[in-house]
Amino acid sequence: MADVFSLVANAITFKLMNEAIDDGPDSMPHDQVQWADRLQAISAPAQLVMLLAAAVAFLVWFHQVRTNAEVFRPGGHRMRRGWTVWGWFVPVVSLWFPKKIANDIWTASLPYGPDGSPRHAPRTVMNWWWGLWIATLVVGRVGGQLDAKAWTLEQLRFSSGVLFVADAVDIAAAVLAVLFVRRLTALQHEKVQQGPVPVAAPIAA
């Protein structure tokens, strides 16, 4: 919801700056300027609060599914369990450590097929979520820096456009994060229900 507020605010700001460039600063409706400022004032702290709440919930879940995965496959993890949390905060390595851990969790969580081997499950949702998450970090950071340095109408229009894209990508990443959580949780639940590795049926002579 906070991203939607920010998306609308940046869209309004972009429109106002575009009109001001074409028709002059006096063409900007005062009520729309106030509305955009009000949305920005609401969305900025709301985004921070929602991000912190979502981050805590996600990290608790991520740590739990990693713990489960170690039970499923004790020797199939390349990173220590502590990296499920710290991997998100350490500069540079945060760009690939969490995905590396998620790949190992996914592999360990695959339910068994009829022959006792792990069943194939496409990682499409996980891969798209991670790609959009990285894109959100990059575009959001660039947009924030541009906005902080914007003084002219053209600069304000460009920065609001970049921030609009960042919000749109962030919303898409959030949706895919929910789908990823649901999919991986479902895989683990199914594997728990299966119990020990099923024994393949003997081949008839």
Write out pLDDT tens, residues 69-84: 999 998 889 989 999 9
Confidence at residue 179, expressed as pLDDT on a 0 to 100 scale: 97
Confidence at residue 204, expressed as pLDDT on a 0 to 100 scale: 44
% of residues, the chain, pLDDT over 70: 87
- From the number of C-beta atoms within 10 Å of its C-beta (0-12, 13-18, 19+), residue 102 rates as buried
**Residue 166 and residue 6: Cα distance in Å, rounded?**
10
> Residue 205: pLDDT above 50?
no
* CB-based contacts of 190, cutoff 8 Å, min separation 6: 111
**DSSP secondary structure of 153-198:** HHHHHHHHHHHHHHHHHHHHHHHHHHHHHHHHHHHHHHHHHH-SPP
Report pLDDT digits (tens) over 143-156. Answer: 888 887 888 888 88
Instruction: Give the Cα-Cα-Cα angle 85, 163, 149 (nearest 5 degrees).
Output: 100
% of residues, the chain, pLDDT over 90: 46
Q: How confident is the model at residue 17 (pLDDT cuts 50, 70, 90)?
A: confident
pTM over 0.75: yes
